[in-house]
Structure 1
Amino acid sequence: MSLNSKSMRYLLFFILFSTFSIAQKARIKGIVLDENKQPVQKVTVSSQTSNTVTNTNGFYELEIEANKEVTIIYSHATLKKSTYKVKLKPNEDFEWNPILNEINEVIETVVISGKNRKIDGGTAISPAVIRRIPGANPGVENLVKTLIGASGSNEMSTSYTVRGGNFDENLVYVNEIEVYRPFLIRSGQQEGLSFTNTDLVQNIDFYAGGFQAKYGDKLASVLDIAYRNPKTFHAGLEASLLGGSIFAEGVSKNQKWSNITGVRYRNNSLLVKSQETETNFRPSFLDIQSLLNFNLNTKWNFSFLGNIAQNTYDYTPITRQTNFGTISDPIALVIDYEGQEKDKYTTVFGAFKAIYEPNKNNKYKLISSAYHTVEQEYYDILAQYRLGEVDANIGSETFGDVVFSRGIGSQLNHARNNLDALIVTNEIKGNHKLNEDNAIEWSFKHNFENIRDRVVEWEVVDSAGFSLPNPLLGYVNDQPYNPYYGPLAPYQNVRAKNNTTINRFSTYLNWNHEGKIGVHTYYVNAGVRGQSWLVSNNGFSGDNQFTFSPRAQFILKPLWEKEMIFRFSVGIYNQPPFYRELRGNDGSVNPNVKDQKSIHFVLGHDYSFKMWQRPFKFVSEAYYKTISDVNTYTIDNVRIRYRANNDATAYVYGVDGRLNGEFVPGVESWFTFGYLKTEENQNGRGNIARPTDQRLKFAILFQDYMPNIPSLKMYLNLVYNTGLPGGSPAYADAYEYQIRLNDYRRADAGFSYIFKDAKLGAHRKWLANFTEMSLGFEIFNMFNNQNSITNTWVRDVYTKTQYGVPNYLTTRTFNLKLSMRI
C-alpha cells in the first residue's frame, strides 16, 4: 500500500517531526608534547582558515571546516614542524596530542566517524569515561547517576531513579532490544553485574524525560546503548580485586563477518566485608556476551546478540553491632545470627536482527528476541538481638560494649521463592527519508510474556519472649503488662502461586521535520504510540486494555553569535503494568491493573561557550509531570512491592542543570545539580511524599592529570543526595510514617598511571604490541561516610519505643585495577 502526495500532505498536517542539526564546523584540540612528554607552550597551530597558539600547559583548540580534508600544521621556534591531515564530521570534537621532536616531518590522515552533537535533550556518554570513572559498582549506571535527572543512593546497586520515577520506570535498550533486570533481587549486594558490558559499547545516549514516541512505554527515562561493529582485531583485559573482564573483536578477511565477545566476573566480597555484619559471603557473578554480524551485501545485514549470565549468592551472617543514638545517649543493636541464604539467578538472552536497505532513503528492520530467567531465593535466618546502652567511658574495660539491655528479642525469616519467566518479542521497523527535510519511522511489535512464580515468605518476631503479630492485623500484644487473648500470627506471611501470561501488541509512528524561521533553524518531532494488552493468571483473564500516547518536541537553534538551543517537549506517557506491578503485597496477581498515565512538560536550554579559552556547555531543564492511576508501592532496599490497585494520583516538578567542559585543559569534567518534589494522593487522603522524593541532588565527575607528568591521571566521582522517605517499617501506613533516611554522601576516587594510550608511551618498546595499558588505585567512599539504605525497626520492651536502626552501606574500601588493550 502506498500514499499519494495528497494523502501524504494530509498526514503531515497532523504529525510534525524533526531531525538533528547539520553544522559545518568541527574542532581539533589537545596538548602538544616534546620528546620527553612535557607540554610545550607557544606552539603555533594553524589550518588554511584559522590558527591558535598553545598555552602554558601546552593546550590548544582549533576550529576547522567539517566534511573536508584539512591540513593542520604544528610549528615551534626550536622544534620540528609536524603536519597532520584530518577530516571531521560536523560538530565533531577530536583530540590529538602531537609530539614535536627532531625526527622528520610526520604526515598522517584520519577520518573520524561518529554522531553529531545531540540537540534533542539526550546526553551522550563516552564509553572510555565509563571505564575510567571509579565506583563500587562500575559501569554505565554508575555514570548515569551523575547525569541530569538521575540519582541513586545505593552504590551496591545498578538501579537508579529518574525525576520521581522508581527503578521499574526506566527503559534500557541494547542495539534497539529492550533488556530486563532479574525479578527477585531485593538487595543491592545481590545484583552483581549490569546487563551492559562496557567493553563492547560504541554509543550511549540517556534521556531523562520528554523522549520520542519511538521509545517504549515507560514513564521516566531511556538508556539507549549500541554495541560496536568491529572493523579490525582488538582485545583487552581488566583485572581488579573485585573481579575482571576480557574481550576480543575481529573481522573476517572478506569483511563480511565480524564478532565481538566479552566475559566478565564479579565478586563483591571486598565491599560486603566492609559492612557491619560479619559474614561468610561467597558471591559469584559471571556472564558472557557476544555480538555476531554478517554483511551479505550492501543491502542486507544480519546480526545476533547473545548473553548468558549466572549470579550465585551464598550468604551466612554471623554477628552485627550497629551503634547509633547520640553522644549523651549512645545505643547499640547487637545481633547474633544462625542460618544462611542461597540465591541463584540464571539468565539466557538471544536476539536476531535483520536489516534491509534497498536504497539510501529506505530501511527496514526485523528484530526477534527471547529472554529466559530462572531464579530462586531460599533463606532461613534466625536473628537474636539485644538493644541496649553503650559504655561510653573512655578507658573502661567495657568501652564500646552494651552494658544494659533495653530490649531483647528474636526474628526468624524464611523464604522459598522460585520464578521462571520467558519473554519473546518480535518487531518490524521502518525508516524512510521522504526528502532533505522530512523523515518517518514506524514499528509493529508483539510481546509474549509467561511468568511462573511461587512465593512462600514468612517472618516471626519475638520480643522479650512474647510473639508480635503484624500491626496491620489489629491485634494488640503488650505483655507482660496485660494478658493477650488474640491468635498467634506471624509478623509477615505471604504465600502465592501464579502462572501469568501477557500478550502485548504495540505500534508507533514518528515524524521528523527540519525548517527555517528566517535565518534560524527549527526542528519538530511528533509521534504517537499505542499498545493493547491482555493479562491471564491461573486460567482467569482480565480485561483487554489499550493505551494511546501522542508526543511532540520543538527545537529552535538560532543563528546567533552565541551558540544556544531551546527545546520544548510535551506528551502523554503510559506504562502498562509488567509482572511486578501486577503482584500485590500478598503475592496474588491482579490481571486488571491499569496503566499508569503521565503528562510530561519539559523546557530545556543548551548554551555552549568558551571559558579560559576552552569549550564549555551548560544544559538546564525545567519539568512538570502529572500522573494518574498511580500504582503505589514501598521500596525494601531495591525490591519494589506494589499494592496493585491504581489508588492514587501524583505530580512531579523540578529543575536540573549540568555544566560540563574542560576545567582542566584537554579533559572533560562536569557538575550536575537538581531539585525535585514529588507527592502522591492515595484515595483522596491528601498529598504525601513519594518514596522517590529526592529533593536535592549534586554530583561532580572530575578528571585531572599532572601537567609535568601527563601519564598520572586522577578521577573523582562525588555524589550528594538528600535523604529519601523510607525510614519507616514496610507494613506502616504511609500517612503515619513520613520519616526520611539520612542524606547520602559519597566520594570515589581513582588514580591511574598510563603506560600507554593513543597519546603516551609510544617510545616504550616493550609496549609495542599494546594500544593501551594502565595501572590504577581506587578508593571507594573516600571520606568513610555512613550511608544507610533502610532501617531495621526494634522495640524497647520497657518504654514501648520503636527505634529505627540504620542499615549502613559500604565503608571505605581500596582496590587495585590493571587494564590493557591490544
Structure 2
Amino acid sequence: MILSVCARAQQAVVDGIIKNDSGKIVEGVGVIDSATQYSVRSNTKGYYMLDVPPGKSVTIFYYLPGYFLQKRTVTLNSGEIRNVNIKLRARENVLKEGVVRDKQQRNRAGDVHIELQKVNFIPDVSGGVEGLLKLMVGSHNELTSQYSVRGGNFDENLVYVNDFEIYRPFLVRQGQQEGLSFVNSDLVSNLTFSVGGFQSKYGDKMSSVLDVQYKRPAQFSGSVMASLLGANLHLEGISKNKKFTYLFGARQKSNQYVLQSQPTKGIYNPSFTDIQTLLNYRINNTWEVEAIGNYARNRFTFFPESQVSSFGVLNQAYQLDVFYNGGEFDQFDSRFGGVSASYHPDSSKLRLKFLASAFQTKEYETYDIGGEYLFGELQTDQSKKDFGQIKTYLGTGYIQNFARNYLQVGVADVGMRGSYDAKKNFFQFGANVTTTNISDNLHEWQRRDSARFNQPYNPNELVMAYFYNSSADFNYTRISAFVQDNISFDSGRINATIGVRGNYSMLNNELLISPRVNFSYKPTGKRDLIYKFSTGLYQQPPFYREMRDLAGSVNKDLKAQKSFQVVAGVDYNFNMYYRPFRITGEVYFKNLWDLDPYFYDNVRIRYTGKNDAIGRIYGGEIRLYGDIVKDATSFISIGILKGEQKVTDSAGIAGFNNYFPLPADQRFTLGMYFEDYLRQNKNFKVHINMMYATGLPVGPPSGHLYQNTLRLPDYKRVDIGFSALLLNSERKNHPAHSYFNMLHSIWASLEVFNLLSIQNTLSYTWIQDNSTNNQYAVPNRLTSRLLNVKVLFNF
C-alpha cells in the first residue's frame, strides 16, 4: 500500500454513475483497476472517477455487498476521459466488501480486515479507527486510542498516512490527557492493518503497521458530526478541470463528561483540537504533487478535589479517602507537514515518488498535586450501626506529586519510493534520510509522608520516594532503505514477497539488515482457502523515549531491540445459512533479544535505557466475520499469548535468572462487534461491542520488573449504540425549496458506554500500613456507565 499514491499518477480517467437495477444511485461501490490495484468508491450521488494507465487494456471491477461483481475492459489514450455508467444487479449471497476487494490483503500473513463503514457507528469512548483496532487486538483502557499488538507495547506500532510516517505525543501519561489520534476517519479511503510479519517496505518497528490512504474526492461533499464528546467537520471537492482535489477536516474533542464519571472528583477542563488538510494537483499526465498538513492543539487542566476507593472481599474490605489540593496543566502542540511528487511517464512500467516531511511537537507537563489520605478497614458486619464505614484506621499520610517537564522534538525526513512492473515480478524500492532533534528538561518528584514521617524514612535528610532531574539536547541522523520483489506463480495461486531492509544510525553507528519473506498458497478446488506464511527480522532502533532511563538520563549508545518472527495462518471464505462468512487464524512466535525493559505508567512507557534482556512471545489468534444477521456484518476476535523476558545482566540480584512476564503479557483477549436492525425498518440499527481481556502483570512500586507477579483484574466492558436514519436523499417528497435537498443523510445515535457499569482497574496506588509497614494495593478505576447523543449530517 505504501506505493498506492504513486500508482495514481493520472494518464487517463474513467468516470460515471453507478445505479442498481431499480434505477437508484448506489453509494460506496468499490471500483478497482485490476492491474495497479488502485481503487476508489462511488460517492453519495453514485459518482466515481478512476485514474487508469493509457495505451493498454485495463479491466475494472465494480463490487458491493449484496450485488453481483461487474467488470468492464477499456483502452484509453493519454489524457482521455471516458464515461462508463454501471448498473449493479442485486443477489442474495455475496461476500462482504473487504473480503472481495483486496485479494492481496488475503495473501499476506498478519493482515487484519477492517470495515471502515463501521467507524461512525461503533460505540466507543475514544472513537475513530482505533476503536475498531482495539476490538481486534485487545485493550485494557477505554480512555486511550493506543493499542498493544501481540505482546508489544504502544511504541512498537507504525502508522503511515499517504506514505508519511506519523508520530504520537511523548509525554502523555494518562489516557485522560490524550487528545485526538492523527488518523481522521472522515478522510480515510482505505487502510491496511498488519499485526505482524509485515513486508520490508514498512519501517523499523517490531509489532504492527497501520497504513492509511486518504480519499481522492470526485465531487464536493462533506459531513458534520456533533455529540456530547465533541464535534467533527469535513469537506472535500474537486476542480472543474478535475486536476485539483482537496480534503479538509476539523475535530474538537472534550472528554470532560467522561472524566467526571471517574472516582477522582474535581474540575476537569480538557480541550483537544485537530485540523488537517490534503491537497493534490495533477500537473500533467506525468507529474502530480500532493501536500498534507496537520495542527493539533491539546490542553488538559485538572484540579482534583476528592477520591473514595473501596476494595476487598465481603468479610474483609478496605477504603481509601483522599482530599486533594493543587492542580495540573498540560499542553501538547504538534505540527506536521509533508509534500510529495509522483512521476509516471507515459507507457512506462516505472513509477517514482519523492517525499519530504517535517514534524514538530512542543510538550509541557506541569503539576503540583498533594493528597491527604485516610486508609482503613471497613465494617462488614451488617448488624453493626457503623456498617459500611471505616472501623479501624490503618494509615494516614500525605502524598505530593510534582513535575515540570518540557520536551521539544523535531523530525525532518526526505525520501523516495519506486516500483517497476515486470509482469510476474513487481519490484518495489525506497530510501529515507531522517534527522531528529531533541530538547528535553525533566524535573519530577514524589514525596510521601506517613504518620508525620517521610517515606522512606531517614532522620538526617529529606528523602523523596523518587526524584528525577535531567536535561538533554542532541540530534542525530538515520538512513534507511529497502528493496522487495512481489512474485506471482500459477495464475496467482502462489504468491511470494521477498525483501530486505537496511537501517544505519549515526548516533550509535549501528547497522541493521532485516530480511523478510512472505508466502501464500491457494489450493485448487471449490473451497476459497488460502494458506499464509511469513518470517523475518524486525529490528527497532531506539527513539528518544527508549533512550531515557528511569532517572531521566539519556543512553545514546542504546542499540536497537531485535526480534525474529514466524507467522503461519489460514484464510477461508465460506457460506453458512445462505450467508457469507470469513474465518482467519494465525499462530506466531517471536524470539526477542537486546530488549530495553520497561513498565507502564498508565499509558506512558518508562524504559530502563539498557539492552539487558531477552524474551519470547508466542500465541495464536482467530477471527470470524459474517452476516449473523442478513446484510449486517459482525465479527469476533479471540487471541491467546504468552510473553516473557529474562534480564541477562543480573548484577547479583536474586530472581533475575528466571523468566518473568512482559508488561504487555495479556494472556487472553476477546473482542466482539455485533450489528442488528429492525426487521420492519432497516433504518433503525443497534451496534454492540464487547471486550474481555485478562489482567496485565503488576507489582509494588520501586520494585524490580521480575517482582511484577501480580495481575490486574480482568478487563470487561460492553458498549451499545442505537442509530436511526432520519433523512435519506433518495426520498423524493421534499419540497423544491427545502434545505433538506442539500443533505444526503441525517443519522442520530444514542450510545451507552459501559452498559454493565463494571468498574475496571487501570493501575494501583500503594499505601503503607503505619503499624506493620504492609503495603496495600488500592485500585485506580476507570469510567462508569455514561450516555452519549450523536447527530451526523452528510451532504
Q: TM-score range by the shorter chain?
A: 0.7 to 0.9
Q: Secondary structure at the match of 2:130?
A: helix
Scaled by the length of structure 1, the TM-score of the pair is 0.83
Kindly, what percent of the aligned residue pairs are identical? 37
Q: Is the 8 A contact 2:199 2:499 kept in 1?
A: yes
1:493 paired to 2:467: yes
Aligned-residue offset at 1:461 = 0.5
The one of 626, 629, 632 aligned to 1:667: 632
Aligned residue number for residue 780 of structure 1: 753
In structure 2, C-alpha distance between the alignment counterparts of 1:129 and 1:791, rounded to whole Å: 34
In structure 1, C-alpha distance between the alignment counterparts of 2:624 and 2:143, rounded to whole Å: 27
Between Structure 1 and Structure 2, how many residues are aligned? Answer: 713
In structure 2, C-alpha distance between the alignment counterparts of 1:293 and 1:650, rounded to whole Å: 45
In structure 1, C-alpha distance between the alignment counterparts of 2:243 and 2:728, rounded to whole Å: 29
In structure 2, C-alpha distance between the alignment counterparts of 1:376 and 1:368, rounded to whole Å: 27
Q: Cα 1:626–1:634, aligned 2, differ >3 Å: closer, same or farther?
A: same
Aligned residue number for residue 248 of structure 1: 235
Q: Secondary structure at the match of 2:414?
A: strand
1:649-660 aligned at under 5 Å gives the runs 649-660=614-625
In the alignment, residue 395 of structure 2 is paired with which amino acid?
G
Aligned residue number for residue 800 of structure 1: 773
Q: Is the 8 A contact 2:176 2:259 kept in 1?
A: yes
Q: Is the 8 A contact 1:570 1:599 kept in 2?
A: yes
1:313 paired to 2:271: no
In structure 1, C-alpha distance between the alignment counterparts of 2:241 and 2:584, rounded to whole Å: 45
Aligned-residue offset at 1:192 = 1.9
1:633 paired to 2:598: yes
Scaled by the length of structure 2, the TM-score of the pair is 0.86
Aligned-residue offset at 1:65 = 5.4
1:548-697 aligned at under 5 Å gives the runs 548-683=513-648, 685-697=657-669
In structure 2, C-alpha distance between the alignment counterparts of 1:143 and 1:295, rounded to whole Å: 34
Aligned residue number for residue 720 of structure 1: 692
1:331-370 aligned at under 5 Å gives the runs 331-359=318-346, 360-370=348-358
Rg larger for: 1
Aligned-residue offset at 1:116 = 4.5
Q: Is the 8 A contact 2:21 2:87 kept in 1?
A: no
Aligned residue number for residue 455 of structure 1: 442
Q: Secondary structure at the match of 1:449?
A: strand
In structure 2, C-alpha distance between the alignment counterparts of 1:531 and 1:596, rounded to whole Å: 13
Q: Cα 1:707–1:31, aligned 2, differ >3 Å: closer, same or farther?
A: farther
Q: Deviations over 1:219-261 (max 9, x none)?
A: 0000011111111000110000000111111111111111110
1:430 paired to 2:418: yes
In structure 1, C-alpha distance between the alignment counterparts of 2:104 and 2:220, rounded to whole Å: 28
Q: Is the 8 A contact 2:378 2:388 kept in 1?
A: yes
Q: Is the 8 A contact 2:378 2:390 kept in 1?
A: yes
1:487-566 aligned at under 5 Å gives the runs 487-516=461-490, 521-535=493-507, 543-566=508-531
In structure 1, C-alpha distance between the alignment counterparts of 2:392 and 2:318, rounded to whole Å: 10
In structure 1, C-alpha distance between the alignment counterparts of 2:386 and 2:370, rounded to whole Å: 27
Q: Cα 1:750–1:326, aligned 2, differ >3 Å: closer, same or farther?
A: same
Q: Is the 8 A contact 2:96 2:580 kept in 1?
A: no
Q: Is the 8 A contact 1:29 1:61 kept in 2?
A: no
Aligned-residue offset at 1:560 = 1.4
In structure 2, runs of 5+ residues without a counterpart are: 1-17, 25-63, 75-84, 649-655
Q: Deviations over 1:409-434 (max 9, x none)?
A: 11111100001110001011111102
In structure 1, C-alpha distance between the alignment counterparts of 2:420 and 2:622, rounded to whole Å: 35
Aligned residue number for residue 380 of structure 1: 368
Aligned residue number for residue 326 of structure 1: 313
In structure 1, C-alpha distance between the alignment counterparts of 2:432 and 2:367, rounded to whole Å: 39
In structure 2, C-alpha distance between the alignment counterparts of 1:341 and 1:264, rounded to whole Å: 24
1:723-738 aligned at under 5 Å gives the runs 723-726=695-698, 728-738=699-709
Aligned-residue offset at 1:190 = 0.5
In structure 2, C-alpha distance between the alignment counterparts of 1:153 and 1:60, rounded to whole Å: 33
Q: Secondary structure at the match of 1:580?
A: helix
1:749 paired to 2:749: no
Aligned-residue offset at 1:770 = 1.5
In the alignment, residue 557 of structure 1 is paired with which amino acid?
K
Aligned-residue offset at 1:130 = 1.1
Aligned-residue offset at 1:768 = 2.7
Aligned-residue offset at 1:132 = 1.1
Q: Deviations over 1:648-695 (max 9, x none)?
A: 100000010000011111111101101000100112611001100000
Q: Secondary structure at the match of 2:488?
A: strand
Q: Deviations over 1:512-531 (max 9, x none)?
A: 11001xx7710010100000
Aligned residue number for residue 131 of structure 1: 120
In structure 2, C-alpha distance between the alignment counterparts of 1:117 and 1:530, rounded to whole Å: 25
Q: Deviations over 1:278-299 (max 9, x none)?
A: 1100010001000011111121
In structure 1, runs of 5+ residues without a counterpart are: 1-27, 35-58, 70-82, 96-112, 470-476, 478-483, 536-542
In structure 1, C-alpha distance between the alignment counterparts of 2:95 and 2:587, rounded to whole Å: 28
Aligned-residue offset at 1:391 = 3.9
Q: Is the 8 A contact 1:30 1:61 kept in 2?
A: no
In the alignment, residue 121 of structure 2 is paired with which amino acid?
R
Q: Is the 8 A contact 1:29 1:60 kept in 2?
A: no
Q: Secondary structure at the match of 1:735?
A: helix
1:187 paired to 2:174: yes
In the alignment, residue 116 of structure 2 is paired with which amino acid?
P
Aligned-residue offset at 1:341 = 0.3
Aligned-residue offset at 1:66 = 3.9
Aligned residue number for residue 740 of structure 1: 711
In the alignment, residue 550 of structure 2 is paired with which amino acid?
N
Q: Secondary structure at the match of 1:457?
A: strand
Q: Cα 1:254–1:84, aligned 2, differ >3 Å: closer, same or farther?
A: closer
Root-mean-square deviation over aligned CA pairs:
2.5
In structure 2, C-alpha distance between the alignment counterparts of 1:706 and 1:144, rounded to whole Å: 27
Q: Secondary structure at the match of 2:155?
A: helix
In structure 2, C-alpha distance between the alignment counterparts of 1:238 and 1:398, rounded to whole Å: 50
In structure 2, C-alpha distance between the alignment counterparts of 1:412 and 1:587, rounded to whole Å: 20
